[in-house]
Amino acid sequence: MHDGIPSSKRGFFYVAAVLLIFMQAGLWSARRRTQEVFPDNSLVPKVPSLFSLIKGESRTTIKEHPIPRLMAEAEVQFRERLTRQSKTLVKAVAEYKTRFKRDPPKGFDDWWKFVQDNDVLMVDEYNAVAEDLEPFWDLSPAEFRQRASLAGHLPSVDLVKVRGGEGKAVNVKDGFDSPDGVSERAKGFLLMIEKFQDKLPDLDFPINAMAEGRILVPWEHRQYPNLTDGGVAEQLSGRYSPDWRGEGTVWEAFRRTCEPKTPARRLFSSTRASSTTQARLSQLDAIDDEVTFVRSVQGNFSFCQNPWAHYSQGHFFSDWRTIPVLFPIFSPAKASGFLDIRVPSHYYHGQTRRYTYGWDPVNLERHHVDHMEMPWELKSDKVFWRGASTGGGSSPPGFAGQYQRHRLVQMASDLSMTNRTILFADPPGSTTYTFTEVPTAVLNREVMDVAFVKLVGSFNFPGGPDALLRDHRFDEGGVNLGDHWKHKYLVDIDGMGYSGRFLSFLESDSAVLKATVYREFFEEWIQPWLHYIPLSPTYHEIYNIHAFFSGGTDSTLHAANSTALQLPAAQRRSLHGDRRLRRIARAGKQWKRTLGRRVDMEAYVYRLCLEYARLWSDDRDSMNFTL
């Protein structure tokens, strides 16, 4: 009994409330906005001489490029983080208590032995676990267990049940009591707990069967949890469907998670930027974002403050309904505003032909070096990306042209004579950097090798398949994963959800350029500008990233009338920049092999399971660990 209501009825009320909120029609839909520049200047390291030049001053060169400073800062930050990790159980417990203001969970000593036995390097950086589980401390243990059990009845959610120290993946909704009827993500989670499941109490883990995030709880419901209660199932009988079907959108569900005074919650303001944002945009119009470089990917970008920006991200148009009640759903990634619990992707932990570097599909074994890997000197200098024309759903239809993949391919397919501002070392290898204007068409032919390989969802593209084929390059031959290793620059961007290829790209001897709005389990363990190159959501700076590391292209040198044209072709490129690029490629590979191993993922999940088990227990204090 709880507040006079039997637990069985309370469970019934929760599911009924979830279904009712699923069926609510969305509020007024925002007008489309085409502006792409994300006005979050906090991520942009400004170089005054660089920006003042763009604004029209007479100087044509600068002496300091932003990228070396970003790389140097990244290396220092990562080295400091790695060296301060606890070396003993006593210090690890003390660090835990300092960070989280409570004792570690029961079993922390067994977990410590696991990480020591397996040479896990990051032993203190688990803020993501605490962040993801923090909302559930407000639920009673009985309520928490009940929601975990009920979550298995929601669409595209499986359960991994641990009973008597042994895990089992089931699909209770469709009546499958064996792995045959469960998702690959549930099977993957089962493999991640295999080494320590015997040390766990009886638990139920609801596993998201889809790539997209699921949990979007309205702001009012976070403040007043009683709003999700109520016996309304009779009103919903026969009306529920797992997709939106015109009855709402991810965006409308998302903006209800924002505080009431934010632009995303104001019906009028959500159609356009606020006056403050408009002023910032006006300032940005005078700044060429082709020569700004972000410090990190934008997983924490505030769409609540900048609602117009949601048009450029496909996950806001997913066809699958989100869940507006706080259920503990384990997902491979989550975007800003979502309350899913992050776990490593089954693509990362598993071994498959499409997602694993070095995987031999014939002998079903993994090689240390992929058989298609090429020496650095033989790799192409072009920026490479291949993928299907996915990236979002059709709820509502008509916005596919602004999804992240479409924008990248369209940008790289542009054969217009509009100019782009390029900053490059002149002469090559020097620290004197010159600006010049180069036609987009010429740059794309010299720098970009980007194309779709599969036509998907063309009916949702404005103008249909003809328009999609006209404005986007398609490579009918397609590529294997190993074909990527022929290139020094690999772009990694979101699809319908997070990108499952990121860790395989890192393990290759190529440098990864990554843009994403998703946050994953490893965000505290990896360092942008050391292990990979972060991209802004517009991708506009990609040409100047290439110009820094590979030097000015022939068209760039001609446009600037550079003296480097007098040099032999082989000496016109930047050997100094190429060494820096290779340093990032090698650092990414080293990270994958020392901090991104399967056992590192298991260590993360092990610690998460211990925290989860404490929330599950009727006596949470009894689930503390003390020395």
State pLDDT tens for residues 351-401.
999 999 999 999 999 999 999 999 999 999 999 999 999 989 999 999 999
pLDDT at 33: 29
Give pTM, 2 decimals: 0.89
Q: Could you give phi then psi for residue 207, rounded to 5 degrees?
A: -110, 125
Provide the mean pLDDT of the chain: 86
Q: Is the Cβ–Cβ distance between 157 and 187 less than 8 Å?
A: no
Q: Is the Cβ–Cβ distance between 272 and 301 less than 8 Å?
A: no
Using the predicted structure, report yes or no on whether residue 276 has a pLDDT greater than 50: no
Q: Is the Cβ–Cβ distance between 620 and 103 less than 8 Å?
A: no
Alpha-carbon distances, residue 536 vs 403, 414, 453, 532 (angstroms): 14, 19, 24, 13
Full set of structural domains in the chain with CATH: 7-39+131-344 (no CATH), 65-128+599-627 (no CATH), 350-392+404-596 (3.40.50.2000)
Using the predicted structure, report yes or no on whether residue 22 has a pLDDT greater than 60: no
Using the predicted structure, report yes or no on whether residue 20 has a pLDDT greater than 90: no
Q: Where residue 476 falls among pLDDT bands split at 50, 70, 90?
A: confident
Q: Where residue 285 falls among pLDDT bands split at 50, 70, 90?
A: very low
* Pairing of β 380-388 and β 448-454: parallel
Closest CA to 296 of 69, 536, 476, 78: 536
pLDDT at 240: 56
Query: How many CB atoms within 10 Å of residue 303?
Result: 24
Q: For residue 372, count CB atoms less than 10 angstroms from its CB and return exposed for 0-12, middle for 13-18, buried for 19 or more.
A: middle
| Region for 543 from its dihedrals, namely left if φ exceeds 0, alpha if ψ lies in -120 to 50, beta otherwise | alpha
Using the predicted structure, report yes or no on whether residue 310 has a pLDDT greater than 50: yes
State pLDDT tens for residues 525-569.
999 999 999 999 999 999 999 999 999 999 999 999 998 888 887
The DSSP call for residue 354 is T
Q: Residue 5 and residue 9: Cα distance in Å, rounded?
A: 7
Q: Where residue 238 falls among pLDDT bands split at 50, 70, 90?
A: very low
Q: Which two tokens stand for residue 377?
A: 């000197």
Q: Where residue 39 falls among pLDDT bands split at 50, 70, 90?
A: very low
Write the DSSP string, 153-195.
TSTTEEEEEEETTEEEEEBTTTTB-SGGGS-HHHHHHHHHTTT
State pLDDT tens for residues 91-135.
999 999 999 999 999 999 999 999 999 999 999 999 999 999 999
Q: Residue 452 and residue 488: Cα distance in Å, rounded?
A: 19
Q: Is the Cβ–Cβ distance between 160 and 186 less than 8 Å?
A: yes
Q: Residue 250 and residue 481: Cα distance in Å, rounded?
A: 31
Q: Residue 518 and residue 512: Cα distance in Å, rounded?
A: 16
Of all residues in the chain, the percent with pLDDT exceeding 90 is: 70
Q: Could you give phi then psi for residue 518, rounded to 5 degrees?
A: -100, 150
What are the residue ranges of helices labelled H in 263-334? 275-285
Using the predicted structure, report yes or no on whether residue 571 has a pLDDT greater than 70: yes
Which of 1-10, 110-119, 295-304, 550-559 has the least mean pLDDT?
1-10
Q: Residue 545 and residue 533: Cα distance in Å, rounded?
A: 9
Closest CA to 32 of 426, 316, 328, 301: 316
Helix, strand or coil, per DSSP, at residue 80: helix
Q: Where residue 239 falls among pLDDT bands split at 50, 70, 90?
A: very low
Write the DSSP string, 200-262.
S-SEEEEEE-SSS--B---HHHHH-GGGG----GGGGTTT--SB-TTS--HHHHHHTTS-TTS
- Give the DSSP H/E element, type plus range, for residue 555: helix 554-560
Residues 6+ apart with CB under 8 A from 523: 128, 299
Q: How far is CA 433 from the centre of its chain?
A: 33
Q: Where residue 297 falls among pLDDT bands split at 50, 70, 90?
A: confident
Q: Residue 63 and residue 49: Cα distance in Å, rounded?
A: 9
Helix, strand or coil, per DSSP, at residue 487: strand
